[in-house]
Structure 1
Amino acid sequence: MNLDRLPALWADLFRHPTSLPVALGAAIAVLALGFFAYRLLFALLSRAARATQTSLDDLLLRRIRLPARLLVALLALHTFIALRGGELPTLLKGVLLLELALASYLAIEIAETMVIDYWLAERRKVQLPALVRHLLLTILYLVAGLSIVGAVTGVDLVPLLATSTVITVVLGLALQDTLGNLFAGLALHSERSFGVGDWILVDGIEGQVVYVGWRSTRLRTFSGDIVILPNSIIAKARVQNFCAPTRTCARNIEMLVALGAAPEAVERAAQRAYAQVPDILREPPPRLWLAAVTPLFQRYVIKFWIADFERHDLLESELMKAFFRACREEGVALSPAAAQPGLAVDPRILDPRAPVDPTVAPVVLPAIVAVPAAPAPAAASGKADAAAPRQQGRSAEPLPER
């Protein structure tokens, strides 16, 4: 038998229409053989996937199982239409278009899993940003779609591409803000300034990154609200990442103590406070320094490190409460000078060793009174009368001279 004549015989077979029973029988045979090959192939692949440690092969099999079944069914339909001859050319082209589309989808899915998920993510430990991944897949699907349409229909796509260039210019002018957000998102992904799960401060808004998309980035604030920020704003703003370069972050709190408190006693109180908050990191160790001394109080700054920024408010509160208790134990009085004049203050703040007595009335802080200057040796009676109110309260107007 001359094998060179097989292509001609095959073409001659599909050129002339066959009877309906023959075409239907051939389609059923192709369907049966196709599903047999499908089940055999997936059984072997599933057995091989169970022997591996990664779960990517199982995920890949689940993703391509349905498209493979549809491809087998389309092959059977293609056989039936082709055997019936050229009476349905448009339908045959449509089926061929679907077959090539499914085959392209399977090829791209396999390439995505093997290259991005396995080779880059698992082997090379390189996490490709979601935005870049979606952009690459969009380009691949677009190229595959245009190639399939051009091959099946025979349409020259060059004029279409030229027309699409003009349309692209018009759309680019109309969608400047959207495209700006898109390219800003690409820049954020390429620089990796922050990622999902990081706590950042941007444009005065503090929150945890929950989503980074093509157009916008979403933050969850401490109150649980979702804030949506356009990527173009983030690209232009100053961004502070509390989780970079490591998730360990430092926090500062200020404490005001009485002017007469000994610095050594304040340091002992701080050490007591550190020991009462176990979630504060011991390495690097917490620090305390005297930041300022004023005529009214001493200002100390406590610097400590935490492993989870999300709990910084709670840990700051716990440390301040522990420092307050430690100051009472060390006999260090907290400064009431920062309070407003006339504010009711518990007298135990003024004297930390005072016994706890709920019946004691609060102390009202007086207004700050200026020390009166010594009277002049010789002054007119009118001037002396005018100076008296200013020395007492600095609020009365001087009497006019007569």
Structure 2
Amino acid sequence: IFDFVLVAVGHHASPHFPLSQFPGADKFQGRILHSHDYRDFKGFENKKVVVLGMGNSGGDIAVELSWHAKQVFLSTRRGSWVFNRVGPHGYPIDFLITTRYQNLLDWLIPKSITQKAVEKMLTEKLDHAHYGLKPEHGPFNQHPFVNDELPNRIIIGSIVIKSNIRSFKERSVVFDDGTEEEADVVIFATGFVFEFPFLHESIAHVNGTDAQLYKYMWPLSMKRNTLAIIGHVQVLGAVNPVSEMQCRWATRVFKGLNIVQLPSDREMIKDIDKKRKAMKRKYYNSQRHTIEVPHIDYMDEIALKIGVKPNLFSLFFTDYQLAKKIFYEISSAYQYRLVGAGRWEGARRAIMEQKQRMLHPLHTRPLPNKTIKDAPLKSDLSWIFIKICFFIFLILYTDRLCE
């Protein structure tokens, strides 16, 4: 018997394996498996392999097998925009985009303009239409597909992009465009079902894509908040800091120490519905697009609940160098250790040195200091745009005060 329970098993446990939707699958004489059961390339050497599904798992499996299999076919219903792990100046892409500076730009610049700019940037690097990858939706209407190697493997023929599977034959697969390819193995990279089979519906409605979870954590209709779901989110960024932040909130609620109490079921449902509607407007209809959360916004939401969100406006006056780091560099979990419960004396230093620590493993060959230049983490053009917006806001605000 326990007083409190944290369910932190994630949502990649129960495979979504829609085999019955494909005619002839029961007659296929090759091997069929789910990506959940894939471990490595051993056993797939010199085979003709079809990978169904173009999520991150499907892309990674296809790339790995393309070095060992006889031929790999990557089957996709919609296609996908391909993002690189390595960004401008060689920085990890999340180090560049998971920043408060980028978050502000996303808020200021109309989404249509940003979508076109990103689509243009991705197309200049890789013309998705020529590679059979271009989807009908925009780059921000899907969970990011990140893969540096896929275009290289396509251009040399190791991977062939195909449309969705229509049906199976004994030794081949038929695709929606009418083409047919011999296949020894078919790997279903079709995602997972969101369920916690050990949590009965009589306790709380937590299974499926329509789960009633406040902030993706708290079940509704609980007499006491003694159960919290941890990590049941698909983050546009790192999930580990988010799970830690959720645990910090949950344990404070369990102890009765939280500065903001959980709202009523009615208020929770309003928040759940609001998030669902926003998600439907942004993403194409898919199971995985029901638990998407933006990293910084979601972290700040919880941080406000437990009083650990840094006051950036105040920091610009009291500690300008730290404020710059917090604003322009990756929004790391150290930011939420500067104030409030769980405050850590080493947080400031950790933030100030995080860029050097990120680059340190790369500096394996001594170079003259003059050859190492610190690449900017922001563009001059976007900084000018922020200044223009600020002055427009200042003028409008001043005019309103004068009325």
- The interval holding the TM-score normalised by the smaller chain is under 0.3
Larger relative helix fraction: 1
TM, length-normalised to structure 1: 0.22
**Structure with larger Rg:** 1
TM, length-normalised to structure 2: 0.22
* Higher normalized contact order (CA 8 Å, seq sep 6+, divided by chain length): 2
